[in-house]
Chains A and B, each alone.
Chain A
Amino acid sequence: MNEVTASPAPAPVMRGPNDYKSDVKPVWCPGCGDFGVVNALAKAMAKLALEPKDVAVVSGIGCSSRIPAYMASYGFHGVHGRALAAGTGLKIARPDLTVIVTGGDGDGYSIGGNHFLHACRRNVDMTYIVMDNRVYGMTKGQPSPTTEPDWDSKLSPEGTGLREFQPLVIALTSGANFIARGFTGDPNGLADIIEQAVRHPGFSFVEVLSPCVTFRPEQKEWKKIVKADALKPTADMTRAARRMLRDTGFELGVLYAGERPPYAPRGPRALRPAADLEARFAL
């Protein structure tokens, strides 16, 4: 009998942030906030020492939804507003993967608004990063759900007059287990937040203020009004809700880090063959 010698385990590969970026170069406008998200996401992945093959970045449609192409992990550039549905399915089928869903405010809060509510409610263990520039950039500047009611533009003269969607409040009331706000002008702070979001069990939601310099050039001023570390994490929903009552939309940090266990398919049902399940349906 031959003697079998176990080969030594390979040394872990130390990766820097640039190792998590692909060779595809972003085509965003110079000055776009979304560059800061690629930067922060790569830094967070490096801090988490994730294997690129164990990460999937999923997106919908829009400028910000191009992100999967710019990362060196697996990626899925899906259908408008359905990134969370795709990400949920992926995480259920492959719980070993770190699933990061990305997109913009139009994709996530309007076209995909219903998916957002239910992703919060289901609390599947994944991270959702929304790059919010309060405008549809890819289709040239229409108001989005987070656009201010009085934003006067050629495509919305005198503004829409509609109240803004409140992503953090919606996420809190719908059951998201981790809720935070970051800013692309602070990629290091944003990387810290994304790292915490990925580590936190359950559905983690990170709203990112990401200026659109082309259609909302006034957003360049955001860097002067954001307040770093103004939101402090709490596991107390009531306290988080009270904090939201005096939210200006520019406070950064972690608002809520809950303790609800993430969704998991229960017991042997998850392992049962599909045919067994089908047999139980009345057709």
Chain B
Amino acid sequence: MKKTKLPSTVEEFMAYAWAMEVEAADRYAELADLMATHHNREVSELFAKLSRIEGKHRDQIAAQMGWTRAPDTAVFRWATPEGPETTDYGDLHYLMQPWHALKLAEHNEQRAVEFFDRFAAARVPADVQAAAREMAGEEREHVRLIGEWLAKVSPPEPGWDEDMDPPAIAD
């Protein structure tokens, strides 16, 4: 099984944080396009908004580190197939509603908290631990904000995924 490579410097640690935001922003943008293709405009706009938010985090990290080009991808290695904030393609449904999209986003933010918490508790230099605690704190704030957002969105009615005229049927 793959193991996450522990960063030995803050620079390496921030490369993880940056890569995580890049993957998350790119994936949300892909999902926004995908939902637009399937005429689910409401969820498409929500994914596009989530992409912009993650993209902002990505740019903030690059600015904070003074990076003018992407860090070397060889620096980081995920233990999971993709970054902790990246939505799995398989978790989508063409009839999904904003509530589902926000639940996915909440799940992603929670995984990001756990990811940074692990670094904060790992055998890494003290300045890396401190940076990891700070990032975990930011991700906790994101979980809270998405929780507030979710509270304003109606959960789906039973049978939300039933379609009397599905686009693809086997018979």
Which A residues fall within an 8 A CB radius of B?
A: 14, 16-18, 25-27, 29-33, 35-36, 39, 47, 140-141, 153-155, 183-189, 211, 213-215, 220, 223, 228-229
Contacts of B90 in A (CB 8 A): 31, 33, 185, 211, 213, 220, 223
List B68-86 residues whose CB lies under 8 Å from chain A: 69-70, 73, 78, 81-82
| Cβ contact within 8 Å between B81 and A25 | no
- Rounded to whole Å, the gap between the CB of B49 and the closest CB of chain A is 18
Given the known interface contacts A16-B70, A185-B90, the answer about A35 and B170 at a Cβ–Cβ threshold of 8 Å is no
**Interface range, B side:** 20 to 34
| Cβ contact within 8 Å between B81 and A35 | no
The residue of chain B having its C-beta at the shortest distance from the C-beta of A220 within the complex is B90
Extra inter-chain contacts (15) besides given A26-B34, A35-B30, A36-B89, CB under 8 Å = A25-B33, A29-B94, A29-B167, A29-B168, A30-B34, A30-B35, A31-B91, A33-B90, A140-B169, A185-B90, A188-B78, A188-B81, A223-B81, A228-B1, A228-B2
Contacts of A229 in B (CB 8 A): 2
B45 in contact (CB, < 8 A) = no
| Cβ contact within 8 Å between A153 and B34 | no
List B81-107 residues whose CB lies under 8 Å from chain A: 81-82, 88-94, 96
Contacts of B26 in A (CB 8 A): 17-18
| Cβ contact within 8 Å between B89 and A214 | no
| Cβ contact within 8 Å between B168 and A214 | yes
Jot down 11 A-B pairs with beta carbons below 8 A, ordered by A: A16-B70, A25-B36, A25-B37, A26-B37, A30-B92, A30-B93, A31-B93, A140-B169, A155-B170, A185-B89, A187-B81
| Cβ contact within 8 Å between A186 and B82 | yes
Given the known interface contacts A35-B34, A185-B88, A215-B168, the answer about A30 and B94 at a Cβ–Cβ threshold of 8 Å is yes
- Rounded to whole Å, the gap between the CB of A189 and the closest CB of chain B is 6
